[in-house]
Amino acid sequence: MAQDNDKHADKPSEPDPLQDGPSGPPRVPDRRAGNRASRYLRTDDTPLNLAGRVLRSRWRALSDKFNRDFMRRTLRIGVSARIFHPEPGALGLRSKNLQYLEESIAQWVMSRDVLVFMVPTVNTNGLLHPSNITMRHYARHLDGLVLQGGADVSPMTYSETPTRPEWSGDRARDVYELELLHEFVDAGKPVLGICRGCQLINVAFGGTLHQDVATDVPGAQPHVHDLYDAHRHAIVFPQGSSLRKMFPRHERAVVNSIHHQAVKDLGRDIHVEAMSEPDGIVEAIRYQRAPFVMGLQWHPEFHRAKGGDLLDCTPVLDEFLRAARETRL
C-alpha cells in the first residue's frame, strides 16, 4: 500500500485548463469546438443573411445621422450689399468704396435663428486683387438671398433716361444685384426683395418702374415722407395672391411707405401680390417660374412683430426660409 501511494505521489497531476500555465494567462474553453455556431446566432443563419442584416443596420444608422444633420444645419442666407461710392474731395472712409448692410435687415432675418452673410461685389478682372470667385459660388453655397433696400434703380437699367438728375440711381449696384439675383434663381434658391429689391426683381424680368410716383401718378397718395419709416398706408391683397393665403385674416393691412419709385409695367411671369389702397400702386410682386422669388415694396424689418397696427411680416420670412430649407442641396 505504501508503494502504491508513493507511485501516485510521484505521478504529475493533470493541468487545470483554468489556471495560469507556463505560456500565459488562463485559457478559456473553446465553446466552438465541434464546429458548433455561437449560441447567440440563429440556428438557420447563413453568412449571406447575417451580412444583409449588418448592412441594413449600418444604412439605418447613416440615414438617421444624415436626417438629423440635414434638419439641424443652420440655414445660411445671403444679403446683397448696399454700396457707398466715394465722395469727391473726401478723405478717409468717405474716399473709399464701401459695401455694407443695414443692421435692421440682418437682425430681422436672424430672428429665425439663421446665419446671415453679406455678399460683396466680385471682381475677376481686378488689377490689384483679382479673384476666381463669382456670384455663382455664392448662389451654390448659400441657401437663399435677400435683396435689401437702398438707392434708386437706375432708369438706364430698364432702357429709359432719367427724367431728373437726382433720379439717375445706382447703375453699378444694379449690375451687381442683377447678376446675383439671376444666379440664385438659376440655382433654384429663394429670393426675397425689400423695397429697391422688389423693384429690381421686376426690372430683372423685363419690367419698368415709375421713376417718381408723385410725378407719374398725380392722383397717388404720398409714398415717401419726411417721417421716413414712420410713414404708412394701407394695402390690399388681390384674389389668388400667396400673400392673401399667408394673411387669411387680413383683407386690408397697414405697412410703412418709404419709396418714391414703384413698379410700373410688370415683367415676364410677374404677378401682383399686394396693392396700396386707394391708389392701386403695386406694393408686392412674385415671380411665378421659381419656387420663391418675391418682392415687398415696404420694409418688413421695420415692422415690430405683433406690435402696433403694422402688419407682422414674419409669415413671409418663414415662407422664404421654408423654401430655402426645401431647395438646398
Number of domains comprising the chain? 1
pLDDT of residue 40: 67
pLDDT of residue 1: 47
Q: What is the C-alpha to C-alpha distance for residues 210 and 214, in angstroms, rounded to an integer? A: 9
Give the model confidence (pLDDT) of 36-63 as tens digits. Answer: 656 666 777 778 877 877 888 888 877 7
Q: Is 177 among the residues known to form the active site?
A: no
Residue 317: inside a domain: yes
Say which of 177, 183, 195, 303 is annotated catalytic.
Answer: 195
- Taking the CA of residue 135 as centre, how many other CA atoms within 13 Å lie in the half-sphere pointing to its CB? 20
Residue 8: inside a domain: no
Q: What is the C-alpha to C-alpha distance for residues 286 and 316, in angstroms, rounded to an integer? A: 12
Instruction: Characterize the bridge pairing of strands 98-100 and 82-84.
Output: antiparallel
Q: What is the C-alpha to C-alpha distance for residues 196 and 218, in angstroms, rounded to an integer? A: 21
Q: Please state the φ and ψ torsions of residue 241, each to the nearest 5 degrees.
A: -75, 150
Q: What is the dihedral of CA 117, 120, 125, 127, to 10 degrees?
A: -110
Q: Is 301 among the residues known to form the active site?
A: yes
pLDDT of residue 21: 47
pLDDT of residue 97: 86
Residue 311: inside a domain: yes
Domain that holds residue 272: 66-327
pLDDT of residue 231: 92
Say which of 223, 301, 303, 313 is annotated catalytic.
Answer: 301
Residues of the chain with pLDDT under 50: 1-3, 7-9, 17-18, 20-21, 28-34, 306
Q: Is the dihedral of CA 264, 266, 270, 272 positive or negative?
A: positive
Residue 19: inside a domain: no
CATH number (domain holding residue 308): 3.40.50.880
Q: Is 103 among the residues known to form the active site?
A: no
* Those residues with Cβ within 8 angstroms of residue 106's Cβ, 6 or more apart along the chain or in another chain: 79, 116
Residue 195: inside a domain: yes
What residues does 276 pair with on adjacent strands?
235
pLDDT of residue 15: 53
Say which of 299, 303, 313, 319 is annotated catalytic.
Answer: 299
Residue 53: inside a domain: no
pLDDT of residue 308: 73
Residue 99: inside a domain: yes
Residue 104: inside a domain: yes
- Contact 182/200 with Cβ under 8 angstroms? no
Q: What's the burial of 223, exposed, middle or buried (CB within 10 Å: 0-12/13-18/19+)?
A: buried
